[in-house]
Amino acid sequence: MNKAVILAGGQGKRMKAPIPKPMFKVLGEPMLEWVLGACEQAGLQKICVVTGYEAEQINTYLGDRCETAYQAERKGTGHAVMQTLPFLNDDADGNTLVLCGDAPFIDSETIQKSLERHIAEQNAVTVITAKVPDPSGYGRILRTDSGIAGIVEDKDASETQKQINEINSGCYWFRTLDLIDLLDQIDCNNAQHEYYLTDTVAIALKTKRRAGAFCSKNPDVVLGANDRKGLLALNTAARMAVLNQHMANGVGFTCTDGIIIERGVQIGAGTEILPGTILRGKTVIGENCVIGPNCVIENCEIGDQVTLNTVQAYTSKIDSGVTIGPFVHIRPDSHICSGAHIGDFVEIKNSEIGTGTMIAHLAYLGDSDIGKDVNIGCGCVTVNFDGIKKSRCEIGDYAFVGCNNNLIAPVSLGKYSYTAAGATITTDVPDYALAIDRGTLHIKEGYTLRKFAENKEAADTKK
């Protein structure tokens, strides 16, 4: 069986945060998730993640998704792989991919193609490489006619070797039985007193085993991050790759400033994304929409020809032909039906807004079921929480809710019903009825004259 070992025990001290380095995020996902996803897409079903620093964070994230091995002391990459020997020995037939949990841009095609080469050439070890414009700081690949002669580190390379632009990605395919044997032969006789996985290549060649290299078409497979600047570079590379893919699919961007689109987002052709917009999770957006500026959309399903201006929406559905914004908050489990209009400073929570319904401005609608072609006046609030439990409001088709209304849930307004401005509705309103709530108005004539006079006398007394 073919399987994978992912090295994820690093601390990343220069990140200056108590988080394992592979858990730092690129486009909203931990770097480890990118690597895991590539392995899974390549069909590798048995995966072992080597943890170390703050291991519990990674264990919690993984759950029972794959196996883990703990590296109590960080003594190099070879030492990390040694911790997986029980995993390797359990079905040692086949091949094992070893890769870094903080190099997020490994891709499934590279994994599959390199495995094919590894098997075809009957290699004990196959190094995944890439050619880059500037190889400074990376280990160079020394090739021969029949494979590779080894890997030379940048600091040890001759001037001629430094001209080589094919570099080591840190990913390797091994025949599993060979990997077990090679791990037993590496030592820590070096300045750092660490066990280096790269030493397995030299040992394989020394023991008359074949070592090869597969050069990926994706030069980004070598990219990692050692500090916040490097992490920013990863995010920038990933962000632009996603934007370029959407542009190729017919999505428009007049300017990409502040636009972040996570890789799980789907967008239809003809849609325009405006600056400052962040699209997260499994959001799906239809065709010919205008999203932005300054929107945050997470795990939402959005239909065609939708306009969202300065909207934050989470785990909700917005049907075709809806216009929303500016300054609108759509909280989870809401459904905005086709043709509805929601204007400025409106909050919707766990509610259905019917077809063609208008909520022009300054309203809160929570835990509500609102029919079609309803008009919600300025300042309307559904009072859905009594301090103990939440209750729902129902508003029938074609109802007209006046300005500054409080709907005290649970309450129902019938179809074609009207409520007068300033009303507090505590009982159900039948179909076609008008609900008026007018308290007794008391007028005290001359009040302000007396008040001003009292204030003047008080001021004169102080003098």
Q: Which residues contact 268 (CB under 8 A, 6 or more apart)?
A: 250, 251, 285, 286, 287, 288, 289, 304
DSSP letter for 66, please. Answer: S
Rounded Cα gap, residues 442 and 421, in angstroms: 19
Backbone Cα Rg of the chain: 32
- Determine whether 458 is exposed, middle or buried from the number of CB atoms within 10 Å of its CB (0-12, 13-18, 19+): exposed
Identified catalytic residue from 79, 118, 329, 361: 361
- Does residue 79 carry a catalytic annotation? no
How many Å from the N-terminal Cα to the C-terminal Cα in the chain?
96
Element (H, E) at 109: helix 108-120
Rounded Cα gap, residues 308 and 278, in angstroms: 12
Residue 40: strand, helix, or coil: helix
Q: What is the dihedral of CA 426, 432, 433, 434, to 10 degrees?
A: 100
User: What one-letter code names the amino acid at 40?
Assistant: E
Based on DSSP, count helices (H) and strands (E) in the chain, helices before strands: 9, 38
By annotation, the residues acting in catalysis are 361
